[in-house]
Structure 1
């Protein structure tokens, strides 16, 4: 967001009244202007200061724009988005070429996922003042609007960082774009640079922890998410991440504690219930895990993320028909993604519904044709259909895609379940021979 925008180079001594003004009046007015434009203190106080300063009739156009900009952002940080938008629009109505007005409305559009509109506004602002903030926002908005590829967005953000190497939003945005693209080492470097610039920035600390977790570096991730929560104890996304980090480190009691804190803080957020259920399931409290998700389903309402885990817990605890019901709820909304239909494949196989398993795995492969898990479950579907030669070919493809050979016993078990004993033995011997270099 537009952090750091209010470090302005204003001449804060406002133009004096005609005649002799009382020193206390002039000093008070200057203090109010400083509070507004330096953007320090609580937002309600900033808003009040901006309004008082704007009441003076003798301020310059440049100072008035800066004060209105401070007022708009005070509205924003008090969650009065309509108020912020109104002030930015007033800026543009009075000063049509105001970069402050254009950029403010651009950020509001960006927040609202209206990326085309944000990109257009940033482009207009660039014609007036091609600064680091505008350039980074323009690059990010065009990428989010799918108008530019990632490398073009990164090039604009890097140019912005050449102008202002300490622009924290640009560093974080670069990190998240790289993380989403799976370029984790580069993402880690971007977040580390952001922390070098601002060591107490909770969002950067959270970002680094997130990327380290995605890289499987859970022990390294923990200190950073702890620091993020020290800076912002109410940072629920960081609390959720810490619960996941602790889960992956095997600290299940602590993960469960954080999950309970999440639910208490926001009972309408699905992640708290999912984190709780996963910890309970790992603790072998299966009934409690399913109950936690059932409670979440009632509290949150329809949520595809929660329903996926609800279905997964149900099939893992032997309730396949109920598990399928949850996936059907996702499907009915048109929200089913790769993970949902892959789980549907697994549920259908457990239920012996080969027709549904085929439909689901074809959809999975449509999403990700080379995914190791899609190829693995395609192998099991082929076994269920009696297409054994094709199953072996598909299993080989899954191994080439990165599937662990630890899944070989499950493949063999599926063949044995179809009375393909000779084929299962031959398959086992082939892979044992390959492993020994024979």
Structure 2
């Protein structure tokens, strides 16, 4: 059955890059694709052997999607196939259409199969995967549950467990049990192992995700999705060199792997190789000109190369091409802020908050802008809102301390700075804070605080 050849090409990852990458980013949607390895040689006869028929070639699933659409169409017009074979040929035709992006026709075919054979696992699983790809996880779970009553296959178990988890109907521990059961049925079903890794990542369990990705690579070292997954995990822990080797392997297996190209651009940026990062960003834009991610990768690399004007131009092009998108607006606002264009930066952030798509980095940037413009009352209101959502973030606590200086609450400001330092604020922020105290004529407090922190460092070094 075609289901044995279904691969999980990508997953939806709502990625908070943290101090590495910036704003929350929906990297990509799940795509289920057929493994179609034969080259597209359109001059080749549809049936090349006297031992083959349109029906047999259609059922083999080894041709390109373009050829399969023509072959299976002719096979379905012929006579002699059984009811089961007709379903199998329609399934082949449906996945051929889906692999070319013809989702509407693929769905029509699967629905036709379901109408004629409501108990068909091929139809039920096909509809389940189409809804899974469309991120309609509640509906995909319905189809997979129906398929389970007909044929409890590995792909059905895996699809059901993942769908229920992604629909919020199942905790990770139970979803992982479904995926493990699928692997017990079919140990070579690597989609289930990869999916388990991605679900661990969504829960912040990076160590478990790495183990799961490593299990996939032990079975198939060239698995592009698992290599990308390893690159993602390692880059999130700042192991940039190791991450680069994995993402390079992912791209060797699949040079058009968009998520891997994007991740490599980020990795190269943090390895201080912005010219190479720029090339990957440009490749993303060339292949996906209506996706903002490539423009952001380009702009970040251009900024690192000292080409802030080009970076802003790239982001403006993205705005004109893509329109509003929270990820794009954040980075545009951030670079406008870096360029000293405070009002434009603030205006770029406002729609993100209006749409309710704000995350930590938007809050941090908003406070930075307001403090830079000496809008103390607005900064206080924004901080109070942000600290309710992110009470332990060291930079928000630091900005709170700076705001308290502006409010002339100097003792409280020093106490809040101590909290920020304890939460992990970089040591070099002390000099800026002391400068603000001096600017507020709190000379004695600034000197005493400098001495206190010097003694604390001496104690920690001894």
8 Å CA contact retained: 1:311, 1:323: yes
Cα distance change on mapping 1:100 and 1:397 into 2, 3 Å: farther
Cα distance change on mapping 1:358 and 1:240 into 2, 3 Å: same
Q: Name the structure 1 match of 2:18.
A: none
Deviation at 1:73, TM superposition (A): 1.0
Q: Name the structure 2 match of 1:80.
A: 102
Deviations 1:141-187 (A, max 9, x none): 11111111222212221222222222122122112112222222221
Cα distance change on mapping 1:3 and 1:284 into 2, 3 Å: farther
Equivalent residues in 2 for 1:19-34 (5 A)?
27-29=51-53, 32-34=54-56
Deviations 1:355-399 (A, max 9, x none): 221222223223322223332323223333233333333333333
Cα distance change on mapping 1:407 and 1:211 into 2, 3 Å: same
Q: Name the structure 1 match of 2:23.
A: none
Cα distance change on mapping 1:154 and 1:393 into 2, 3 Å: farther
Report SS of the residue matched to 1:47: helix
Q: Name the structure 2 match of 1:9.
A: none
Deviation at 1:97, TM superposition (A): 0.9
Deviation at 1:134, TM superposition (A): 0.9
Report SS of the residue matched to 2:358: coil
The answer to whether structure 1 residue 216 and structure 2 residue 266 are counterparts is: no
Deviation at 1:329, TM superposition (A): 3.0
Q: Name the structure 2 match of 1:12.
A: none
Deviation at 1:105, TM superposition (A): 0.7
Report SS of the residue matched to 1:369: coil
Report SS of the residue matched to 1:124: helix
Report SS of the residue matched to 2:67: helix
Q: Name the structure 2 match of 1:4.
A: 5
Q: Which 5+ residue runs of structure 1 have no aligned equivalent?
A: 7-23
Deviation at 1:401, TM superposition (A): 2.9
Q: Name the structure 2 match of 1:290.
A: 312
Cα distance change on mapping 1:342 and 1:108 into 2, 3 Å: same
Equivalent residues in 2 for 1:16-95 (5 A)?
27-29=51-53, 32-95=54-117
8 Å CA contact retained: 1:166, 1:194: no
Q: Name the structure 1 match of 2:427.
A: 405
Distance in 1 between residues matched to 2:78 and 2:311, nearest whole Å: 62
Q: Name the structure 2 match of 1:357.
A: 379
Q: Which 5+ residue runs of structure 2 have no aligned equivalent?
A: 8-47
Deviation at 1:25, TM superposition (A): 10
Distance in 1 between residues matched to 2:91 and 2:203, nearest whole Å: 35
Report SS of the residue matched to 1:402: coil
Deviation at 1:307, TM superposition (A): 1.6
Q: Name the structure 1 match of 2:151.
A: 129
Q: 1:318 aligns with which of 340, 360, 371?
A: 340
Distance in 2 between residues matched to 1:143 and 1:408, nearest whole Å: 44
The answer to whether structure 1 residue 96 and structure 2 residue 96 are counterparts is: no
Q: How many residues align?
A: 419
Relative CO higher for 1 or 2, CA cutoff 8 Å, sep ≥ 6? Answer: 2
8 Å CA contact retained: 1:132, 1:167: yes
Which stretch shifts more, 46-55 or 348-357? 46-55
Which stretch shifts more, 403-412 or 119-128? 403-412
When the two chains are superposed, the root-mean-square deviation of aligned CA atoms in Å is: 2.3
Distance in 2 between residues matched to 1:127 and 1:259, nearest whole Å: 47
The answer to whether structure 1 residue 421 and structure 2 residue 450 are counterparts is: no
Q: 2:268 aligns with which of 240, 246, 250?
A: 246
TM-score, reference length from structure 1 = 0.89
Distance in 1 between residues matched to 2:444 and 2:85, nearest whole Å: 86
Deviation at 1:59, TM superposition (A): 2.5
Distance in 1 between residues matched to 2:342 and 2:70, nearest whole Å: 59
Cα distance change on mapping 1:27 and 1:357 into 2, 3 Å: same
Deviation at 1:5, TM superposition (A): 4.7
Q: 1:191 aligns with which of 195, 213, 218?
A: 213
8 Å CA contact retained: 1:184, 1:215: no
The answer to whether structure 1 residue 384 and structure 2 residue 406 are counterparts is: yes
Distance in 2 between residues matched to 1:37 and 1:415, nearest whole Å: 77
Q: 1:201 aligns with which of 207, 223, 226?
A: 223
Q: 1:139 aligns with which of 154, 161, 181?
A: 161
Distance in 1 between residues matched to 2:69 and 2:403, nearest whole Å: 63
Distance in 2 between residues matched to 1:165 and 1:363, nearest whole Å: 49
Deviation at 1:121, TM superposition (A): 1.3
Distance in 2 between residues matched to 1:241 and 1:412, nearest whole Å: 38
Distance in 2 between residues matched to 1:210 and 1:226, nearest whole Å: 12
Distance in 1 between residues matched to 2:362 and 2:108, nearest whole Å: 42
Distance in 2 between residues matched to 1:414 and 1:79, nearest whole Å: 58
Deviation at 1:56, TM superposition (A): 4.0
